[in-house]
Amino acid sequence: MKTIPPAILAAVQELLDQDDEPLYRGELTELVEQVMQQRSQYLEAAHRFGTPQYLFEEPRLRAQIDRFTAAFAREGLVARTHYAFKANPTLSMVQAIQRAGLAADASSGLELELALRCGFTRIVLSGPAKTDEELELALAHADRVTVHLDSFAELSRLEALAARHQTSIRAGVRLNTQGHGLWTKFGIPFTALPEFAAQAAQQRHVHLEGVQFHLSWNRQAGGYLRTLSELGPALAQSTPPGGWRFADIGGGYYPEDDEAAYPWLTRRGRLLSLLGLAPAEGPPPDWDLSYLLHPVQPIEAMAREIMDAFQRHLPAGLEMWLEPGRYLANQAVHLLLRVADVKTPELAITDGGTNLLGWERLEGEHTPLINLSHPSLYQKPCRVYGSLCTPHDLWGYACYGEALNPGDILMLPAQGAYVQTLAQRFIKPLCQTVALDLQGELRQVAPAETLKDRYPQLG
């Protein structure tokens, strides 16, 4: 045991006493149990189509949509749900969202074009620094698109383009709150709304109808409640000629219980590591195979609080627009892998690498790794790596399974948000996508990447 001077120990203890990380110790057993109930379907997908694969499960997506829209349903309040394409813009996901009857939230010209071609009839175009080409695409489909303006300059540019094309378009304006960290890059301050509304009133072709704000990674309703209380007075100070029609409160609704934190990466764990009282990386010897979970407010309770605040603070009759992405998409896509090599009973390598996630995310957070071939509801310590030529290619430090054998099918569930979007061609190609439809049928919807896909100039 390393000897630490008492003064340093006292300072460390003071820091730990101030630890306000809202975490509790446990395991994601409910998610594991859900996987076990459909284990035969997942194994069939792996055996029929091979691995690695993204398995898109439309019934699970539809269940998330139904739960979310039901949570935000209230008599006397119009709530419109726009799916945030940036969470997962793969064609199978987007087409399923459209079939479910949702609207679209596009944050680029590529996403806008996809929404239009997939038949969405209600679309918002958001995001900063929109190009003229993106704005002109919105203008060409002004019957379906509302543009969320990000600045005074963008208002002027959109007006000039609309005048040139002799058309009109509906618009909102994005607002940011002071002290919102990196998110202050978006929109205009609440205090600038009166000036913006006055300038918008002078435009002949751009019709300001609403406001938008966005808060991310919300596990509780508090951020929405504080922002709605600020928004009410701001709207009262400035009204466009046609009045306010909607308030878009963005996305950021977090799914319940699908990821956890490694105990040794908390503030306490990092301090112990810096002091030499715990390993510099990886689990300590006394790890009990449990993780630290973030308490997440169920969407039903969060929605009640948000709707109460919306109706209390904002003018009567406003439509509530919502932009969920992660909440809808995350539980609908899983990653299936095959054990390609077993170095020791506690160390295995799979046929897919973490380039399929986009970055080394699982070094910092945990999602259950489940052995579908030899399943168990209990974890065993091990190290499971991917097939990339880098030591950071890690899938996890434990696996729900009896053992690890060559050929075993492993599953990383709930990987539908910001995974396929961020997947990268690092060393290995991108993998295929298989869909499980509402009738329970499996089919390949996107093949694995080939050399021709990667280098089309080779012919």
* Amino acid 125: pLDDT: 98
Is residue 188 scored above 90 in pLDDT? yes
Q: Which residue has the higher pLDDT, 77 or 258?
A: 77
Confidence of residue 271 (pLDDT cuts 50, 70, 90): confident
Is residue 179 scored above 60 in pLDDT? no
* Amino acid 365: pLDDT: 87
Range with the lowest mean pLDDT among 92-96, 286-290, 355-359?
A: 286-290
Is residue 258 scored above 80 in pLDDT? no
Most confident of 146-155, 256-265, 276-285: 146-155
Confidence of residue 363 (pLDDT cuts 50, 70, 90): confident
Q: Which residue has the higher pLDDT, 185 or 105?
A: 105
* Amino acid 397: pLDDT: 95
342-368: average pLDDT: 93
360-383: average pLDDT: 93
* Amino acid 178: pLDDT: 63
Instruction: List pLDDT tens digits, range 119-163.
Output: 999 999 999 999 999 999 999 999 999 999 999 999 999 999 999
Is residue 375 scored above 60 in pLDDT? yes
Is residue 83 scored above 90 in pLDDT? yes
Question: What string of H, E and C letters represents the secondary structure of the chain?
Answer: CCCCCHHHHHHHHHHHHCCCCCCEEECCHHHHHHHHHCHHHHHHHHHHHCCCEEEEEHHHHHHHHHHHHHHCCECCECEEEEEEHHHCCCHHHHHHHHHCCCEEEECCHHHHHHHHHCCCCCEEECCCCCCHHHHHHHHHCCCCEEEEECCHHHHHHHHHHHHHHCCCEEEEEEEECCCCHHHHHCCEEHHHHHHHHHHHHCCCCEEEEEEECCCCCECCCHHHHHHHHHHHHHHHCCCCCCCCCEEECCCCECCCCCCEECHHHCHHHHHHHHCCCCCCCCCCCCCCCCEEECCCCCHHHHHHHHHHHHHHHCCCCCEEEECCCHHHHHHHEEEEEEEEEEEECCEEEECCCHHHCCCCHHHCEECCCEECCCCCCCEEEEEEECCCCCCCCEEEEEEECCCCCCCCEEEECCCCCCCCCCCCCCCCCCCEEEEECCCCCEEEEECCCCHHHHCHHHC
* Amino acid 267: pLDDT: 76
* Amino acid 180: pLDDT: 63
Is residue 14 scored above 70 in pLDDT? no
Mean per-residue pLDDT over the chain, rounded: 93
Is residue 323 scored above 60 in pLDDT? yes
All domains of the chain in start order, with CATH = 25-53+331-438 (2.40.37.10), 59-257+292-330 (3.20.20.10)
Q: What percent of the chain has pLDDT over 70?
A: 95
Confidence of residue 311 (pLDDT cuts 50, 70, 90): very high
Is residue 276 scored above 80 in pLDDT? no
* Amino acid 17: pLDDT: 63
* Amino acid 274: pLDDT: 77
Range with the lowest mean pLDDT among 109-113, 312-316, 449-453?
A: 449-453
Q: Which residue has the higher pLDDT, 449 or 113?
A: 113
Instruction: List pLDDT tens digits, range 385-400.
Output: 999 999 999 999 999 9
Confidence of residue 13 (pLDDT cuts 50, 70, 90): low
Q: What percent of the chain has pLDDT over 90?
A: 77
* Amino acid 9: pLDDT: 65
